[in-house]
Chain A
Amino acid sequence: MSERLSCEEARALAPELSLGSATGEERARVLHHLASCPDCRRLVSELSAVADELLLLAPAHEPPAGFESRVLARLSEGKTRGRTLRRFLGIAAVAVLAAAISGGGVFWAGRSDREVAARYQGVLALANGEYFSAAHLRDIHGTRRGLLFGYQGDTSWLFVSLHEPMDPGTYRVESMTRGRRVVLLASSVELSGLRPSWGTALPGDLHGVSGIRIRDEEGNRVLEARFPGK
């Protein structure tokens, strides 16, 4: 990250930050400054309140017929999916282990191949799955920044684990298919926590997914991973 902003510089960027239109870098730098400057924090808070109120200007419109029931159906589906996803994300921990196996991880050094294979198959059998896959997530310089895990099963899923926090802000995750189609998996993903990670159930099979790209708020590609052989 660049050098620390002065109050004057932070105040100049405060309106765009409040409006949600600052670039990723500007946002990160101002937030860094705000962490230790209560005066600028107050200004951003006040301007954010103004920005929020601006949205009230949009005129109300009745949505199409049946909107309410479609939303409620999605909420109901979400409750089920949420439970499922949490269960599968629990399995992601197992995927980490499995990935360590396939990559010759240190956890399994000294174990016989047969024992490793048996454990791997046991996990898949338990979860009714077909295979796990893993790939390094690299930044634009090719530096390894984390791991992408994939699971092909009854519900296929992806799980991202980063070695260290990304800059503050939100990120967009896209999957790439073998046919070079790009599918938006999620927007507004936060990866700046202490142990950043993110996961999702896939709408289809893992077979068709060649990897993922993670983009910042500006749409710049910041991380990418490709599964082996795809």
Chain B
Amino acid sequence: MVLYVYVVWSLSDESLLAGLGAGDSEAAAAFVRRFQGRVFGLALTIVGDRERAEDVAQETFVRAWKHAGAFDPRRGGVTTWLLTIARNVAVDVVRLRRHEVVGSDVLLALQLPSGEPDPDERLIAAGESERVRRAVAILPEEQKRALVLAAFHGLTGREISEREGIPLGTVKTRIRTAMLKLRSALEVSDE
């Protein structure tokens, strides 16, 4: 048993996800422990309070379990797949309380990250996140803000335009320009 637990803990993200999907309780525990900091952190960044963030994070893991079979490693890693689920759940929650959306808090949280990830998590994603952070850092503030409101709050161009009091065309241009710059900086290719 001890050996089995050790083996489970050393499995790749993909293997743990497969185990979660198959209903393996050890794999499920290892999966949750490996990703809970990142998932809860993203949820907290978006919804802004710990109670709702926990609801979001719990729902994220339930959906990951339900949809584990749909994960396609050709389209990205387990971390980003899981965070995308968390983001969508969190955006749903925020949308139900639209009047409470405070995008600037998200921006602050991203610029001044607080909270130490587990050493295990640092190994998983520190390299990736630092690369993205550097790429985003070079964007002009107004592009950064539009991008964050769209990416983390799922606000449409029109909603950002209304919130920020700027023309819709300007919002769309800022988002488009920012995304194309990031694609170039991160050298994303679909090859």
Contacts and interface: CB of A to CB of B under 8 A. Distances in A.
Residue among B40, B66, B75, B109 with the highest chain A CB neighbour number at 10 A = B40
A57 B126 CA distance: 10
B87 A62 contact: no
B42 A16 contact: no
A71 B176 contact: no
Interface string A41-68: 0100111011111111111111110011
A19 B83 contact: no
A23 B86 CA distance: 20
A45 B113 CA distance: 28
B57 to A, nearest CB: 6
Contact of A59 (B29, B41, B81, B147): B41
B151 A46 contact: no
Contact residue range for chain A? Answer: 35 or more
Contact of B76 (A47, A52, A219): A52
A182 to B, nearest CB: 10
B9 interface: no
Contacts of B79: 56
Contacts of A74: 58, 61-62
A172 B65 CA distance: 20
A20 B129 contact: no
Given A49-B190, A75-B61, 19 more contacts: A16-B157, A19-B150, A49-B188, A51-B151, A52-B83, A54-B147, A54-B182, A55-B86, A56-B132, A58-B45, A58-B83, A59-B110, A60-B117, A61-B114, A70-B54, A74-B61, A75-B28, A79-B23, A188-B89
Interface of A: 12, 15-16, 18-23, 42, 45-47, 49-64, 67-68, 70-72, 74-76, 78-79, 82, 172, 184, 187-188, 218-219
The 9 A-B residue pairs whose C-beta atoms are closest, nearest first, are A60-B117, A59-B113, A60-B37, A52-B80, A56-B129, A63-B40, A15-B179, A21-B150, A58-B42
Interface of B: 20, 23, 25, 28-29, 32-33, 36-38, 40-42, 44-46, 50, 53-54, 57-58, 61-62, 65-66, 75-76, 79-81, 83-84, 86-89, 91-92, 95-96, 98, 109-110, 113-118, 121, 125, 128-129, 131-133, 136, 147, 150-152, 154-158, 172, 175-176, 178-180, 182-183, 186, 188-190
